[in-house]
Amino acid sequence: MTLPIIPDANAPSTGGRMAAVKEMAQLQRMLFEVEREFIRTATTLIYRVGDIDLKYLICQHVWESAGHARFLRERGRELSGFGKDDSVRESYSAIFEEAIRADDPLVALAGFYRVLKPALLAAYRHYLEATHHLADWPSRKLVEEFIIDEERHLDEIAKYLQDVEGEQWAQRLSIALSAIGGWLGERESIAAPSDFEWVSHTVPYQHLDTCNRGDFPISSSAYGYDPAQFPIVRSWLEDPDTDARVLRVMVYVWLMMELDAVDYLATIFYETAAAPFDMHYDLARHLWDESRHSAFGYRQLPKLGVDLTRLEHSLDLYNILVHMSPAERYAMMTMEFEAGSFGTKAQIMDKIRELNDFEADTLLAFDRNDEQQHVRYGHRWLPEIMRLFNVEGSVDAFVENTKSRFEELSKTYGGKTPHSLSAEDRFTGEKILKLVGLA
């Protein structure tokens, strides 16, 4: 079949005395739409790839792309012809939809970073060539910064693609992109071969039933009451007499396990395509924050002598939440998990101050500050997600019903991941006691 080139029906005429401004505004609009679609679809890679550092990196790139999109929209709205809504033209969405259909997550990653992102970099460079250096100076300054980011994104991801082939998939995406002449139509369009078929037209996209954690050991949960079985001992967290050194290790494990939040929050973008861009902007910040919090533990635990190959990753939250609606996932995340953690974390923070550990105090303070902002996001955006999915009733009633539904689904989907390691081999509360010299 021939790939369609679908014009933007809302695009204003570029004729008349404002033609030069409108032409540049339309290019900015197109760049905004590409960045927005990257945010919506690249997030599906996060729970599919197994390398932890790669997960963190994709979260960072999504957040930086959200910044690009926001600045493009703000600058574009200063110009005639940019448009007032946040919609994305179908021809762009079709290409990004195709990009996420690769079976192998690294092949999908290669499609984004060998085809779609380089094409975006080329589009930004084209913008600089097409606009006037003085008349459009504010836009040029933004684009020059975005080019630096895009070049860095390609450099940062390169090591993860060294042994990835995926040439056929990349060629498929190149054909689709060539049919519209590049993101800005800056090059001659080339019709696709007559036998080209869109995989996305016949293969629905579905989230993974469980997230990928690569070579790391896994289990249902890192939390429990038996110090011989779990690294995060709930009774110790609540006990004001627990040694601060023990709490420091446990809270770093807790932070590292916020990788759960990274993986299940990443699922929400794709299913909320009709959401306002401002919601995806805040969710991108939320996602990046959670990846940083997880990295707090991931980076600090080895400094304290913890062997991360012995620390099992908990999968229950993703495994349960992926079977809930986006509104339910977001409600549990912001209104239950995050809002419900403040009291316990405050007590831990006060106790850890006994150690005079500036780095621990700093990381925990920023974690708390971010989590408070995330709860504010929940209050702002949960009603919007409910509206998108035609959920009626009050937010409070919805949250309470969601908690009950989570408990019911936990019986079916929770506790199903066996321990990768024996109790003797895996990191536990008892081993924390030995690590800090209390046993």
Write down the mean pLDDT value for the chain.
Answer: 95
What pLDDT does residue 8 have? 47
Task: Fill in the DSSP letter of residue 314.
Answer: E
Whether the predicted pLDDT of 5 surpasses 60: no
Model confidence pLDDT, tens digit, residues 284-326: 999 999 999 999 999 999 999 999 999 999 999 999 999 999 9
Q: Are 397 and 357 spatial neighbours (Cβ–Cβ below 8 Å)?
A: no
What pLDDT does residue 4 have? 41
CA pair distance 157, 215, nearest whole angstrom: 19
What pLDDT does residue 17 have? 67
Whether the predicted pLDDT of 10 surpasses 90: no
CA pair distance 240, 346, nearest whole angstrom: 11
**CA trace torsion 105, 289, 210, 273 (10° rounding):** -70
Whether the predicted pLDDT of 134 surpasses 60: yes
Whether the predicted pLDDT of 2 surpasses 50: no
Percent of the chain with pLDDT over 70: 96
Q: Are 236 and 429 spatial neighbours (Cβ–Cβ below 8 Å)?
A: yes
pTM: 0.94
156: CB partners within 8 A, 6+ apart: 57, 61
- CATH number assigned to the domain with residue range 19-201, chosen from the 4 options 1.20.1070.10, 3.40.50.970, 3.30.70.260, 1.20.1260.10: 1.20.1260.10
∠ CA 189-191-194, nearest 5°, is 170
Of the candidates 396, 400, 342, 406, the residue with the CA atom closest to the CA atom of residue 373 = 342
Give residue 430's identity as a one-letter amino acid code.
E
Over range 42-68, report the average pLDDT.
98
Model confidence pLDDT, tens digit, residues 65-122: 999 999 999 999 999 999 999 999 999 999 999 999 999 999 999 999 999 999 999 9
Whether the predicted pLDDT of 11 surpasses 70: no
Where do the domains of the chain lie?
19-201, 218-435
Model confidence pLDDT, tens digit, residues 336-395: 999 999 999 999 999 999 999 999 999 999 999 999 999 999 999 999 999 999 999 999
Whether the predicted pLDDT of 1 surpasses 60: no
Model confidence pLDDT, tens digit, residues 177-206: 999 999 999 999 999 999 999 999 999 999
